[in-house]
Structures are given as structure tokens and as C-alpha cells.
Structure 1
Amino acid sequence: MASSTTPYTTKQWILASKPTSAPVLSGPDATFKLQTVTLPPLKEGQLLCKVRYFSNDTGLRNFIQSTVAPERFYVPTVPVGSPMRSGIIAEVIESAAPNYKPGDLVMDFHLGTWSELVILEAATSQPLTPLPNDMPLTHYLGAFGASGLAAYTGLAFAGGVKAGDTVVVSAAAGATGCMAVQIAKVLLGAKRVIGIAGSDEKCAWVREQLGADACINYKSPTFVEELKAATPDEVDVYLDNVGGHVLDAMLTRMKKHGNIAVCGAVSGYNSDEPMTLRNWFEVVSMRINIRGFIMLDYMDKAPAILKDLIGAAADGRIKLQNGETIVEAKIEEQPEIWMRLFSGGNQGKLLTKLIV
């Protein structure tokens, strides 16, 4: 379909400065700046889309400033002056690609931007098809998107979970963690699954709704003692999203030759202090295997994984109820909503439903 020659303008958040600790949301040193820009005409193979939902992920913090050099990072980072990126669900307004038409819904894992209107490449956009049982399409950004894929691949491939294993999942009430708890128990046959979360209320949800055998509040003054009591036979696989003192404690609970699969280190994203691990020699003493991974490593397996995840959710083995926090907001509020991730202001996946 040919595109219109009418120029479109859109409000768009750009990266104004790279933060060294927590992003700054206002004032002269603000991390982000809201601008109104004119979009270029569509080129062949492109889509003009209206954003419906933003995916809020802690990993986006590393897109704007990381201890990893940009040339070593797993996806292109966001340069100063460029639009802030995130996963999105959007509606096609105009199409210059034969396989899309106005009204179609599309998703992009990480190349969308914090904008009201975006131009996407059709080749890297994923068309959204209805889910069984009228499940919300927003699950494509969470349970059936990067979060669910990270949970599954981290446990099954990077962690090597086997039937009968004892598995621990940190950030168990978050987008990846809430799927990991259920995947370990329901799909991979773990004998015992222990969650770690940031409040007693979240731990109750992880136990009662997600089916964890135990869940421990890492803010508890007796966290280390509670962790030891919950893992009397020690741990085969630990899925680590947080690093810091939680990882340090977990090093003392791993079995000899146990596996730690690392997909995040959110405890240090907004800190300019180095991460300290007092128990690091446990890695040598217990011959612990630590493996970093990203779900993009396993995209060839994604169709089969998503078939399993959607099927398990459709028949009730995996529960998605209360696994999304959706905030309706205008574009002006997006940075503040994203920052709620770092203060525990969500349960499950945090999404912004963009209103104009």
C-alpha cells in the first residue's frame, strides 16, 4: 500500500544525558527530554504506527548507560539525542509493505520508541494474532514475549533444569520471575521451587497464586537464615535477575556443580558503587557454573516455546491472572512509570497503555 505524503508529527522522549546512578526525571540534568518531531516519509517496507502499549523493563536501564562498552553490548544502545527505545504494541496507520494494512496490530521486542507515533520496519515487526480464550494481546509483551522467553530459556537451556531439581528464582514477582516460577514447576518438572521477592505481600502471591513451595522476602533482616531453611537440600539451579546481596547469599546455597543462569543484575543498575560478593570463593569451592544469557540467543526455539507457554496458559496450568500491571497514561508520564520498576511498584509485567 502506498504511503501518504502528509507529514506526521509526534511527541517523543529522547535521551538527553547518560545517568551515572538513578535516572533524573526533572530539572536541567534530566535524563530524558520530551520533543515534538516530524517523521520522515515512509520508505518501502516500512510501517507508520500508533503506539498502544509500552513495555517497561529494567533492562532498558542498560540501554542508556552501562558498565559494558557499547560495542560489547548485546543490542545497540541509545546514544544521547536519540529516541528512548522499548518494546511496543502498535496499530498500523499507513503501510508501505505488502503484508500489512491499516488497522493491523504489530509488536517490536526492543526497537520501538517512547513516541506516540513510530515508523517500524515490517521485516522486524511481529504481527499479532488473537490468543485463545480471549487472553489479552498485551501478554505478547510479557508472558508470551521477552519475559516469558527469558524465563523459559534461562531455566531450560542456560540453567539446565531437570525433573526433580530444586530451583530458586529471584525477582519472582516480576515479569520474568513470575513466569519462571511456573515454568520450572509445571513445564520442566522441578521438585521444589523457591521464589525471592521484595515484600511479604509479593511473597504470598508467589506462593498462593504461582505455586512456589516457598518465597522469601529479601528485605527481611533474617533473609539469609530463611533462605537456608527453605533450601535444606541445597539448590540445583538459580535464575538470577538481581545480583547483589541476593546473589551473594545464593552462592552459599548452591549444590556442588550447581548452575546459576544470569539474565539481570537490577540491584546495581542505578548505583555507581561496585557490586560486592563476599562469598565469591564458593564458585571455586563448590565448582559452581555461572552462565549469562539473553533470550535472543534462542530465537530459533521461540516458536516451540511460545506454543508450550500459550497452551499451558490456555488450559490453566500456567496462571496469568494478576500477572500484569497496566497503567493508563499520556506520553508525558512514561519516564516516571518506567522508573516504578526500581521501587517495586508493580506485580508481574508493568505496561503503559498510551492515551492521547
Structure 2
Amino acid sequence: MFEVSYPRSVPERRPEGHQPAAPRFSLRWPTPRLTLVSVYFGMQQDALSRADKLAFFARIRGFLAQADGPQADEVMQCIDEAGLDNAIVVAYWTDPTLYARWLATSGFRSWFEAHAAANGAPGYWLEPVVVPYDRHETIYSASNYKVGFARTVGAEIVSITTNGFFGAARDRLPLSAVDVLDSPVHGVLSPAAARTSARGHWIAELPHNATLLRSGQYWEGAGQEQLEDYIERLQPKLMRGMQHLMSTRSETGCLSLRIMTNVNEDGSPRSETSVYAGFMSMAQLEAWAASHETHLDIYRHAIAMNRLHKEKREVVTWHELFVPQLGNVFEYINCHPMTGILPYARALRVQTGE
């Protein structure tokens, strides 16, 4: 299995002699995947009907079906911080050249940019994340469910032991062996930009060494006992943690956060959710995870259930984490001013839409 490693010059976080209490898994590919591409396509409006969402999913998937399209995609929905409906497609490439060719030939760009001249709703957004392999890590609680990058061709879920301690996610990042991954602005969030409208086409630059995390939960087919435990006890803890991250941005460095639900082909919700969040720095995400009661509640509960059910745990949890370098830009067309990273990133209005 392909993996990147460097002679370590930055101390690892793993305690000496640590042995994890529960099995965990991560992704590998049999041949080199030097750059990974994860792209989020979104549409937002005050109220989107199921038909609106299905039409958007079909439109984006039509573009994705063109030559050099992704190896995997998923469709989701969420209510954002402004209370607007969002329909979302995420697509995964393991070859950036294919992604670049797809952008140039699929017709998506001209369709996307044409909306900048429109007045009013809906809004559209595009958040592509392009990262070298050594700036990503993944973890799965079970090996029998593939989601995210795990659905790309050749991906395999393999057993790991770099888990069960605070700082494990950093240790799983190959680059962390030689790079402390500091935020260039020390994780300080500037005040939200005072914009009353984001009409037109905006391009926002993701800060260097920001951290992007998609953390998922899947409970389809879980038995009554474990399902009730997740819905009634663990899920409320997750939601309290997410509300804390959003309500204390200056402390947590939370750039954006979406609580997304996967949907079926007919638009009905699946028994599957994920949170997609951006942070100014990995250190701020780690500080919340290691010390704040809202995350410790989540952590303690998950560990207790894993120890109780062991290999019979029926609720799958997972995440994929990226620490992009300078150069990633997100785009927003006719979106409300709090969309994505718009309020906290350097943004350029390239088209007024007027």
C-alpha cells in the first residue's frame, strides 16, 4: 500500500507505549496518489423544494459525468447559519490533471459563471480543495462502510494504531513529521466582513495551513439499542459541540461549518450525516478537541460505546481531514454574506452581477 513518510524532526504526539483501546482504520491506495481533490458544489435559497434540489443534483451530476469526471460523488442538503436551504454535491478526484481537464471541457465553468449576471436567488458556491497527499489523513471506526475518498478507485480501508490519543490526527498527517503546520496569522480571525450583500461573483482565498474537516456518522441498519443511543444521547452532544464552534469563532477559529444530511436518489434523507468545517489553524481545532467540555462529552461517549460493543458497533463514524497550502480559492455567486469562508477570508469581487 502506498504511503508517504519522512524522517521525523517534529516530535510526535503519541504517548510512549500507547496502545489504542479500540480498532481504527484509515485509507490507502495500492499505487501513488500524489494530489487529492475534493470539490463541493452548492446551491442556496430561502426555500428549496425537493424538486429544486433534485434538479440541481441532476445538473451537477450531468457535468460530472463528462470526460475526466470524478471517481466518486455524494449528494447532501443542509440549512446554513442564515437559515437558507443548501443543496450540495461533493466530488472526489485522485488525479488533479483529470480535474483540471474536466474543468476546462465539461461546460461547468460557463454554466456557473453565467449566474453572476442574475438578480436575486438562488445563490451558487464552489469550494474546491486541492491538497498534496501528505497534507491529508483519514480515520474510520469500521472497515465495512466506504464513504468520501474511500469510494474512489482502488481505495482500501486498512487497520491503524495511530489513534486513541489527543493529537492522533496530526500524527496521521505525513507532513506533520517535518512541519508544525502553523497558521501564518496565528489563528486570529478578523471580524466578519461588513457586507450587506454578496450579489455578483466573489473569489475568497483560503488561508495557508487552514484545516478542513469532514466528520461523518452513518447508522443505516443499526439495531434499536444502538440507534436510540446515537439519536437520543450522542447526536445531541454532537450538535452542542457544533453550536459552540460557531458561537465562539474568535476562540475556535471556525471559518465555516455545515451540518449536512446525505440524501437518496429520490431526495429523501438517509441515515447519514456529516459536518464539514473549516478552521484557521489545526492547533485551534486540537485545542477544542482536547480540552473543551463539548468535545470531551462526544469523545467520552463514543469511547464508552466502542468499548461496550467492540466489533459489533453498528454506528460508523469517520473523518477526512486536509491542511491545504496557499493557493486554494473558493467562489460564491449571489450568496448571502455569511456563506462559507466569505466573512473571514480575503475576498475579491470579480463581477457585480448588475
TM over 0.5: no
Structure with greater contact order relative to length (CA < 8 Å, sep ≥ 6): 2
TM-score by length of 2: 0.22
- Name the TM-score, length of structure 1 as normaliser: 0.22
